[in-house]
Amino acid sequence: MTEFFHMGGYAAFVWSAYGLLVVVVVWNVFSARALYRAAQAAARRRLAENVL
């Protein structure tokens, strides 16, 4: 197990790369959902304004 985490001496490089992947994937999911929610809220506002 320790050998696995050691990555043949390249642990810092290999785990940083995989860690950054996780960060980028999480950012993509959350930023897309935030954009989606903001678009829904803005659409709701526009529809409410134009009811007249």
Partner 1 sequence: MTRLTWFYRLASPPTSYATAGRLLPWFAVPAFLLLAVGLYGGLVLAPKDYQQGDAFRIIYVHAPSAWLSLLGYSVLGVSAGIGLIWRMKLAHALAAAVAPIGASFTFLCLVTGALWGRPMWGAYWAWDARLTSELILLFMYLGYLALRSSYDDLQRADRASAVLALVGLVNVPIIHFSVNWWNSLHQGSTVLRAGGPAMPAAMLIPLLESFAGFTLLFAAIACIRLQAEILNRERRPTWWMDSAIKGVPHD
What is the rounded CA–CA span in Å between residue 19 and residue 7? Answer: 14
Instruction: Give the other-Cβ count within 10 Å of 14's Cβ.
Output: 14
Segment 29 to 48, residues that bind partner 1, using CB under 8 A:
29, 31-33, 35-36, 38-40, 42-44, 46-47
- CA nearest to 18, candidates 10, 1, 31, 3: 10
Choice from 1, 2, 13, 52 touching partner 1 (CB under 8 A): 13
Site residues for partner 1 per CB under 8 A: 4, 7-10, 13-14, 16-18, 20-21, 24-25, 27-29, 31-33, 35-36, 38-40, 42-44, 46-47, 50
